[in-house]
Amino acid sequence: MRKEINRLIYVLSVLAIALSTYVIKSYPFRAGLTDVLIFFALALILEAFPVEIPGRQIALSMGFIVSYAGILLFGAPIGILLNGLGSISPEELNFKSHDPRRFIFNRANLMICAGLSGLMYEILKGPSLDFGWRYFLVALSVALIYWFSNVTLLSLAISIDKGRGFIGTWVYYISNISIITYLLHFFLALVIAQSYKLLGPIVMPIYIVPVFIARYLFILASEVSRTYDQAISTLIKLLGVFDSYTSNHSLRVAQLSEDIAREMGLSEVQVERIRNAALLHDLGKIGLPLNILNKPDKLTREEWLQIYRHPIIGADISKEVSRFKEVPLWIRHHHERYNGNGYPDNLKGEEIPLESRIIACADAFDAITTDRPYSRRRGIEEAKAELSRSMGTQLDPKVVSALFRVLEKNSSLYDDNQKIVKEK
């Protein structure tokens, strides 16, 4: 992957330089030195306070608002410089902790986005553009071009870096960096551009207030997701204090379910939900006596009755801690069997949600390949043989086949399944 990502960064850098040179040579700078200094200062201030979207390795910067307002006010060349250079954050310059390739990629990405949207602005605006409907439509198309090219370039880099499908990654980013957020930025940028045009730099400090209010609202929304995710990791840790096997098992099953779901071509949005459900799937075991969970001998009927309740209890708890409304249902059905002999509802075949069938398959593989009080762990080949026998009875054959493909691709990782928790 390293070679491909280097190649991508190289191609994007060449493209960014060519596009910037073309735009800067073709269109005039319509800004004085004071305008440039004010906008650069504002862009750099905002860039120093990015908003992180929890759990998704995405940080949205509000600097886009300034660069975009810059395009509308001063034209494409200033927009490119503001977006490419005004977007440098102090963190990015710390090359000891940040890969310099990321710095180059960000510059190329942002200059291409500003270059394409700036070019669009210059072409659409024609000889003159007064404030009104035409101005609004031109501004909107410029924002949409920016949004589209930014998501596309980010998805391209992530899909190459992580070896994932481009379309799935693109859809994931589209759904996480919502168009509503972009539209909010878009309106703020319009307000900034118009009031700057009318009133000049004197009112510039006032612009910071609505921009920071927008940032604050966005942080509040992000905090909700972060709180949910923290609740889940706290519960997994709590489970670990009570029963370390089940806690580590949950982490491994989450990883494998994620890999199977991706292998089956599910979208990144679905993959994230399945991971969430898999992490919580055995939470209902909290409170079960350890002598039942770790019993080396056969369980009695009463003991089985207690075990049977864990998907129902887990589904109930997950209603409170998962931010996805489907997760409790998937947890409830993770012990259904493909032939209808599972519990708690004896669902059969496709009646069982696909997500539950994926978790069931990852669960079975993990149970076979790890040491339990009642059985020694077995190697991948033995596990595959046993899972093959379960196809169509306990497990969905399509899901088992997907698991086999995952194992082939990641044989070294799953060779010793116990390691995954430590390594991934």
- Contact between 259 and Fe ion (CB under 5 A)? no
Angle at CA 324, nearest 5°, toward 278 and 268?
70
Candidate segments 37-45, 142-150, 212-220, 356-364, binder of Fe ion by CB under 5 A: 356-364
Tokens representing 264 are: 């089956």
Work out how close the CB of 101 gets to Fe ion at its nearest, in angstroms, rounded to a whole number: 39
Work out how close the CB of 328 gets to Fe ion at its nearest, in angstroms, rounded to a whole number: 14
With beta carbons less than 8 A apart as the criterion, state whether 278 and 359 touch.
yes
With beta carbons less than 8 A apart as the criterion, state whether 59 and 51 touch.
yes
> Which residues within the stretch 187-246 sit at the binding site for Fe ion (CB under 5 A)?
none
* Closer to Fe ion by Cβ: residue 43 or 321: 321
* Closer to Fe ion by Cβ: residue 35 or 363: 363
Work out how close the CB of 314 gets to Fe ion at its nearest, in angstroms, rounded to a whole number: 7
* Closer to Fe ion by Cβ: residue 262 or 285: 285
DSSP secondary structure letters along 323-351: S-TTHHHHHHTTT--TTS--SSS---GGG
Candidate segments 9-17, 70-78, 277-285, 291-299, binder of Fe ion by CB under 5 A: 277-285
Tokens representing 416 are: 């010793």
Work out how close the CB of 276 gets to Fe ion at its nearest, in angstroms, rounded to a whole number: 15
- Contact between 336 and Fe ion (CB under 5 A)? no
Candidate segments 110-118, 254-262, 361-369, 398-406, binder of Fe ion by CB under 5 A: 361-369
Candidate segments 50-58, 140-148, 281-289, 341-349, binder of Fe ion by CB under 5 A: 281-289
For 277-317, list the strands marked E by DSSP. Answer: none
Tokens representing 381 are: 């080949």
How many angstroms separate the CA atoms of 56 and 246, rounded? 25
* Closer to Fe ion by Cβ: residue 258 or 282: 282
* Closer to Fe ion by Cβ: residue 61 or 356: 356
Work out how close the CB of 284 gets to Fe ion at its nearest, in angstroms, rounded to a whole number: 8
Work out how close the CB of 318 gets to Fe ion at its nearest, in angstroms, rounded to a whole number: 13
Q: If you ran DSSP here, which 8-state letter would residue 298 be given?
A: P
- Contact between 282 and Fe ion (CB under 5 A)? yes
> Which residues within the stretch 66-95 sit at the binding site for Fe ion (CB under 5 A)?
none
Work out how close the CB of 277 gets to Fe ion at its nearest, in angstroms, rounded to a whole number: 11
Task: Please name which of 84, 51, 55 lies closest in space to residue 67, comparing C-alpha atoms.
Answer: 84
Candidate segments 282-290, 371-379, 383-391, 400-408, binder of Fe ion by CB under 5 A: 282-290
* Closer to Fe ion by Cβ: residue 215 or 281: 281
The separation between CA 45 and the C-alpha centre of its own chain, rounded to angstroms, equals 26
DSSP secondary structure letters along 120-174: HHHHHH-S---SSHHHHHHHHHHHHHHHHHHHHHHHHHHHHHHT--HHHHHHHHH
Amino acid at 188: L
Candidate segments 28-36, 54-62, 233-241, 280-288, binder of Fe ion by CB under 5 A: 280-288
| Per rule CB under 5 A, count of chain residues that contact Fe ion | 2
- Per-residue binder mask for Fe ion (CB under 5 A), 113-152, x = binder: ----------------------------------------
Long-range CB pairs of 96-99 (<8 Å, 24+ gap) are none
Candidate segments 15-23, 66-74, 182-190, 357-365, binder of Fe ion by CB under 5 A: 357-365
Whether the bond between 344 and the residue before it is cis, its omega within 30 degrees of 0, is yes
How far is CA 230 from each of CA 19, 109, 110, 276, rounded to the nearest angstrom?
43, 32, 32, 12
How far is CA 375 from each of CA 252, 272, 307, 378, rounded to the nearest angstrom?
18, 32, 18, 9
| Residue labelled with tokens 């086949």 | 401
- Contact between 363 and Fe ion (CB under 5 A)? yes
Coil, strand or helix at 94? coil
Work out how close the CB of 308 gets to Fe ion at its nearest, in angstroms, rounded to a whole number: 10
Please count the CA atoms within 13 angstroms of the CA of 85 that sit on its side-chain side. 14
Work out how close the CB of 335 gets to Fe ion at its nearest, in angstroms, rounded to a whole number: 6
- Contact between 47 and Fe ion (CB under 5 A)? no
* Closer to Fe ion by Cβ: residue 282 or 355: 282
Work out how close the CB of 293 gets to Fe ion at its nearest, in angstroms, rounded to a whole number: 11
Site residues, Fe ion (CB under 5 A): 282, 363
